[in-house]
């Protein structure tokens, strides 16, 4: 007979695995009623009999994103907003385009682990573990390589090639969310007090004002 500790350990491990992604669905289909008045943790379902193939379909990931912007990258998300049939299923994807030396700036996904593959070019990728270690785990990826960014951790990608780079990512949430660190800290609305940021970043308010003006 299994010891109570083993059973407890197994239960805890099971819970942790389940908490790493969206909750499991309790029915075959729960196509999101994106415009419905009901707000739940996710979207309310349309009637299963009303589900159509188009509810589970998206076309457009063959199209390069427009990278003409200050960071030189563009994310094309395919989550529950684009595919209502993803509601409650705990999965989504994205295409990320990079101009030469373009970056997908440090950001986190509050609800998803990400697994990414390079389908064109090469990418420098990395994530940082939480305090107090803040260890940077980084790798140079070539076409066909796959890398994982654990849920919640700050991560980034940069095109190190001279041509364009393209990656496809899968995420363990129907709605992973994105918090871009620079936008959240220096581009919040309204702004975080510049003297607070100056002390936090061990710099002066002039420098903070200058950075805030970029976001
Ligand atoms: C790409 O974005 C830039 C900047 O917003 C814009 O000027 C340009 O017209 C866009 N290009 C295409 C092909 O949409």
pLDDT in tens, 174-190: 999 999 999 999 999 99
pLDDT (average), residues 90-100: 98
The neighbour count for residue 91, using CB atoms within 10 Å, is 16
CA 68 to centroid of ligand 1, rounded, Å: 6
* Rounded-to-integer distance, Cα 40 and Cα 7, Å: 33
107 is in an annotated binding site: yes
The contacts of residue 58 (CB under 8 Å, 6+ apart) are 78, 82, 83
Q: Mean pLDDT over all residues of the chain?
A: 92
CA 144 to centroid of ligand 1, rounded, Å: 29
CA 120 to centroid of ligand 1, rounded, Å: 22
Sheet strands (E) in 2-88: 39-40, 42-43, 73-78
62 is in an annotated binding site: no
Q: Integer distance in angstroms from the first to the last C-alpha of the chain?
A: 60
Residue 154, phi then psi, degrees to nearest 5: -70, 130
Ligand 1 pocket, mutate which of 64, 65, 66 (most atoms under 8 A from CB): 66
Q: Which pLDDT band, with edges at 50, 70 and 90, does 2 fall under?
A: low
Two tokens, residue 9: 């350990």
Q: Judge whether residue 7 has pLDDT over 80.
A: no
Q: Which pLDDT band, with edges at 50, 70 and 90, does 130 fall under?
A: very high
Q: Judge whether residue 6 has pLDDT over 70.
A: no
The pLDDT score that the predictor gives to residue 46 is 92
Atom of ligand 1 nearest to the CA of 69: 4
pLDDT in tens, 47-90: 999 999 999 999 999 999 999 999 999 999 999 999 999 999 99
The neighbour count for residue 10, using CB atoms within 10 Å, is 11
The pLDDT score that the predictor gives to residue 28 is 87
Q: Which of these, 158, 3, 146, 4, lies nearest to 72 by C-alpha position?
A: 158
CA 142 to centroid of ligand 1, rounded, Å: 28
Ligand 1, pocket residues at CB < 6 Å? 66, 68
Instruction: Write the residue with the smallest CA distance to atom 12 of ligand 1.
Output: 66
* Rounded-to-integer distance, Cα 119 and Cα 96, Å: 10
The pLDDT score that the predictor gives to residue 1 is 45
Question: Which pTM value belongs to this model?
Answer: 0.87
Ligand 1 pocket, mutate which of 68, 97, 99, 164 (most atoms under 8 A from CB): 68
Strand order in the sheet with 146-149: 73-78, 92-98, 165-171, 114-120, 146-149
Instruction: Write the residue with the smallest CA distance to atom 10 of ligand 1.
Output: 66
Instruction: Write the residue with the smallest CA distance to atom 7 of ligand 1.
Output: 68
CA 69 to centroid of ligand 1, rounded, Å: 9
- Please name each of the domains of the chain with its CATH number: 48-177 (2.60.120.10), 181-215 (no CATH)
Q: Which of these, 65, 142, 126, lies nearest to 99 by C-alpha position?
A: 65
23 is in an annotated binding site: no
CA 198 to centroid of ligand 1, rounded, Å: 35
Atom of ligand 1 nearest to the CA of 66: 1
* Rounded-to-integer distance, Cα 137 and Cα 146, Å: 14
């Amino acid at each position: 007979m299994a010891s109570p500790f083993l059973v407890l350990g197994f239960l805890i491990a099971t819970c942790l695995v389940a908490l790493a992604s969206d909750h499991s669905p309790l029915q075959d289909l729960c196509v999101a009623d994106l415009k419905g008045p009901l707000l739940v943790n996710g979207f309310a379902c349309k009637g299963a009999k009303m589900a159509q193939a188009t509810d589970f379909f998206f076309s457009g990931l063959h199209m390069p994103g427009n990278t003409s912007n200050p960071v030189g990258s563009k994310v094309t998300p395919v989550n529950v907003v684009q595919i209502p049939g993803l509601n409650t299923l705990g999965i989504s994807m994205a295409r990320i385009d990079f101009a030469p030396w373009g970056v997908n700036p440090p950001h986190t996904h509050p609800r998803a682990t990400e697994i990414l593959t390079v389908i064109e070019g090469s990418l420098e990728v990395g994530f940082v573990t939480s305090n107090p270690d803040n260890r940077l785990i980084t790798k140079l990826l070539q076409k066909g390589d796959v890398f994982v960014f654990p849920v919640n951790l700050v991560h980034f990608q940069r095109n190190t090639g001279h041509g364009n780079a393209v990656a496809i990512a899968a995420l363990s949430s129907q709605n992973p969310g994105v918090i871009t660190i620079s936008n959240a800290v220096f581009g919040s609305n309204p702004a975080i007090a510049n003297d607070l940021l100056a002390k936090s970043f061990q710099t002066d308010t002039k420098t903070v004002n200058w950075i805030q003006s970029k976001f």
